[in-house]
Amino acid sequence: MAIVQPQPVTEDGRRRIRLDSPVDRHHVGDLEISSKAEVDAAIERARAAQAEWAARPVAERARILRNVVDVLVRRREEIVEQVRAETGKPRAEALTIEVVPACDFVNFWCKRAPKDLRDEKRRLHGYLLPMKKLRIKYQPLGVVGVITPWNAPFVLSLNPVVQALLAGNSVVLKPSEVTPRSGELAVKVLHEAGVPADVVQCVHGDGETGAALVEGDVDKISFTGSVGTGRKIASSCASSLKPYTLELGGKDAMIVCADADLERAASGAAYLSMFNSGQVCLSVERIYVVESVADEFIRLLKEKVSALRYGSEDGDVGPLFFDKQMDVVSGHLKDATNKGAEVLVGGSRVSGEGLFFQPTVVVNATHDMELMTEETFGPIATVMRVRDEDEAVRMANDCKYGLGGSVFTRDAAKAERIGGQLTTGSVVHNDAAVIYGVPEAPFGGRKDSGVGQVNGLDSLRGFTHAQPILLTRGSPKGESVWYPYTDKTIRNLDGLIRYGFGNKLLRKLLS
């Protein structure tokens, strides 16, 4: 359903969007847009339902949401078919990208939630310890608005929604208008698992609907999508001091070191730049190869990409999911060739009605090309030769994005050293993109790639307010610094400074 065409407003005043298949452009249905009044009503229902949901113990919420895994297993074929109907991605990718991680995320978060969200005792330091006790309560924020993209429409809807629900919030989800039914299906799965209807709801629409959700009476926004939309959301949330997380675009660099296993590196470059038709925020979009191994790497990469099957739903590389993306991919490639880049494989749209673009290998790339500076989001492996690994690091960091990166080398210590020099949210050794599927790892971008982090061991707490409660030990009759101030007050404070912090041994004990 990637070809989106606005339809005239109907007699009842409702807006609709026509949805066509990216595979062959046949009409697959119309999407009725949720009005601002309907979005506000959904938020109101969510707020009314949230208190009862939050009152359930964390373990009970986890027990309900653990049922989601059973539903996913039972309805996996329906999920695959729905995702494929909207995106045309190969069955293997629908399973790998959407269903497998969805099962894993839900299973993982349900296990973590009772531990991560329980009240926490924190030991105080120094002179406060005899007088006070500190407790931290992780309170739900209330109603969370979740806005999700079209490239992985099922799992990118389910993952943040499940985290927010486990934390005791209610959720209003707005999936992309390009892939609306996949997001809607995630909500249906949650309902079937036992989550009350008003605790998680789905509204549909385009940017106007998203703006209504962001500007509505919600307590946090979780957004995954484009940089431009992310900036608008940040501005809107700032006006009401509303917290948000933004998972935005990327232009991830792959560094191929002189000691890399070139067979693996070339296989990785082919797959990691083209799986999901290259439409992954963590897709490899820039490949920096040390000069001494560049010829052999390029030979292997050309060989592997030339063998890829495409042009149908049963191939290795599926269609682009969104018609507007075809213009971006074609435009970036034209700009590169006009500036001296050479296309070794592919390089054009596949003839026919669908949105297929040939798997493509480009060499002789430079940083004055859009193909090396702007997010392309298409099946293109772009290679740039570099003198050495230091130059590769400099070029990788010469980018307005900072989502992920990868280092291909036989030396894990070298990968860690180089990775530590990259200004990115994450780095992967001899692989890429997989980091989002590692729930223990904090995931988020730097620079234009986002604000905040999702996943990681503090992820569930990101949907809560950490409320400190400071308890007083015993039943003191007063405090040493309360009124009235006396000479003794001054002596006590001065003594604490002189003898407590002025003595290195006591200072250490007070830390």
Could you list the active site residues?
A: 247, 281
Question: Taking CA 184 as the corner, what is the angle to CA 179 and CA 186, rounded to the nearest 5 degrees?
Answer: 105
C-beta separation of 21 from 85 below 8 A: yes
Structure tokens at 407: 């280092």
Helix (H) or strand (E) holding 126: none
C-beta separation of 485 from 102 below 8 A: no
Separation in Å, CA 26 to CA 1, 182, 493: 9, 18, 79
C-beta separation of 146 from 222 below 8 A: yes
Phi then psi for residue 408, to 5 deg, are: -105, 110
Phi then psi for residue 319, to 5 deg, are: -80, 165
Separation in Å, CA 328 to CA 275, 282, 285, 331: 18, 17, 14, 5
Q: Tell me, what amino acid is at 419? A: G
Phi then psi for residue 96, to 5 deg, are: -70, -45
What distance in Å separates the CA atoms of residue 375 and residue 460, rounded to the nearest whole number? Answer: 30
DSSP 260-314: S-HHHHHHHHHHHHHGGGG--TT-EEEEEEEHHHHHHHHHHHHHHHHT--BSSTT
Q: Tell me, what amino acid is at 388? A: D
Phi then psi for residue 485, to 5 deg, are: -70, 135
| Number of C-beta neighbours around residue 331 at 10 A | 14
DSSP 50-82: HHHHHHS-HHHHHHHHHHHHHHHHHTHHHHHHH
401-402 and 446-447 as β-strands: parallel, antiparallel, unpaired? antiparallel
Phi then psi for residue 332, to 5 deg, are: -65, -40
Structure tokens at 401: 């994005």
**Residue recorded with tokens 């996996």:** 76
